[in-house]
Amino acid sequence: KYTTVIIPAAGKGKRMGTQMNKQYLELGGKPIIVHTIEKFDQSPRIHEIIIVTSKEEMEYFKKEIVSKYHFNKPLKVVAGGKERQESVYNGLKNISPEAEIILIHDGARPFVSLEEIEKSVEGAREYGSCVIGVRVKDTIKICNEEGYIESTPRREGLWAVQTPQSFQTSIILEAHKKAEEDHFLGTDDATLVERLGYPIKILEGGYQNIKITTPDDLTIGEVILSKRS
Ligand code: CTP
Ligand code: MG
């Protein structure tokens, strides 16, 4: 089945605190976003790659990333929006008409594995929707505004979800369309599908599939890279 990955990369990287957008920072001598794209470019399960960048960075992206690194798959660069959700939706509006399965994967998660990509594609085919996640290791507390603990959910059912989040095309299109109509803003794509009542399978991934968010993550990222090479 024709499978498209949408890679939202239109954020500002505020929490990294660097002048340059975090996704152009290098890990092992290569920009973070290049590591991410390469994984999907290498996966035999992916047919098309759509990268969403901000309007202002689009030319830079085409010149400094797309033309300098050699990707083999059909690749489109489209403009994103103010929120991640808008960026993904704009990616969805640019998928090939053949696309039957859609993977959505953060540009800032360069350590996704080929196994996780494969599992995601299989999961979307089998369950309609699936997300990669890991069991939380810490105990989670629900706190009030004043900073006091209110309750402690049982750890057994708690998962930290990552990306890829993967869907049959009609499901994710419907979910984004409905969210826009309702002015609903979610923090991930699965949330938009949940509110329509479709089942979403959680598939166990690994703890190395981190999102590069703060400077500490760069240090951890270098360790993950050196461990892998
Ligand atoms: N993203 C996007 N469009 C936005 C906001 C985020 O495509 N309007 C992308 C980011 O580029 C990133 C992914 O969504 O690859 C996950 O978001 P996050 O880690 O929060 O990145 P930023 O929003 O760039 O970082 P920050 O929140 O610290 O500003
Ligand atoms: Mg953000």
pLDDT in tens, 126-136: 999 999 999 99
Ligand 2 (single-atom ion) residues, CB below 5 Å? 11
Handedness of CA 161, 24, 30, 103 (dihedral sign): positive
Task: Count Cβ neighbours within 10 Å for each residue of 145-158 and write b for 16 or more, e otherwise.
Answer: eeeeeeeeeeeeee
| CA gap 170, 99 in Å, rounded | 10
Mean pLDDT for 54-66 is 96
Please count the residues of the chain.
Answer: 229
Q: What ligand has the least distance to the C-alpha of 83?
A: 1
Q: Average pLDDT, stretch 201-215? A: 98
pLDDT at site 132: 98
CATH topology of domain 3-228: Spore Coat Polysaccharide Biosynthesis Protein SpsA; Chain A (3.90.550)
Does ligand 1 lie within 6 Å of residue 32's CB atom? no
Q: Which atom of ligand 1 is nearest to the CA of 12?
A: 24
Distance CA 31, CA 25 (A): 5
**What's the pLDDT score for residue 199?**
98
Q: Please tell me the distance from the alpha carbon of residue 194 to that of residue 121, in angstroms, as a whole number.
A: 19
Task: Enumerate the domain spans of the chain.
Answer: 3-228
For the segment 4-23, the average pLDDT, to the nearest whole number, is 96
Q: Whose CA is nearest to atom 13 of ligand 1?
A: 106
pLDDT digits (tens, 9 = 90+) for 83-138: 999 999 999 999 999 999 999 999 999 999 999 999 999 999 999 999 999 999 99
Is residue 229's pLDDT more than 90? no
- Separation of CA 10 and ligand 2 centre (Å): 9
Q: Count Cα neighbours of 61 within 13 Å in the Cβ-side half-sphere.
A: 25
Contacts of 52 (CB under 8 A, 6+ apart): 6, 7, 8, 9, 10, 77, 78, 79, 80, 87, 88, 90, 91
Query: Is there an atom of ligand 1 within 6 Å of 14 CB?
Result: yes
Provide the pLDDT for residue 186.
Answer: 97
Nearest CA residue ID for atom 26, ligand 1 = 13
Does pLDDT of 47 surpass 90?
Answer: yes
pLDDT 10s digits, 186-200: 999 999 999 999 999
Beta carbons within 10 angstroms of residue 32's beta carbon: 26
Q: Whose CA is nearest to atom 23 of ligand 1?
A: 11
pLDDT at 212: 98
Nearest listed ligand to the Cα of residue 8: 1
Task: Tell me if 37 sits within 8 A of 71, measured CB to CB.
Answer: yes
| Banded pLDDT at 4 (limits 50, 70, 90) | very high
Report the percent of the chain where pLDDT is more than 70.
100
The residue to mutate among 5, 82, 84, having the most atoms of ligand 1 within 8 angstroms of its beta carbon, is 84
Average pLDDT, the chain: 97
Does the C-beta of 110 come closer than 6 Å to ligand 1?
no
Query: pLDDT tens digits for 139-180?
Result: 999 999 999 999 999 989 999 999 999 999 999 999 999 999
pLDDT of residue 141: 97
pLDDT band at 62 (very low <50, low <70, confident <90, very high): very high
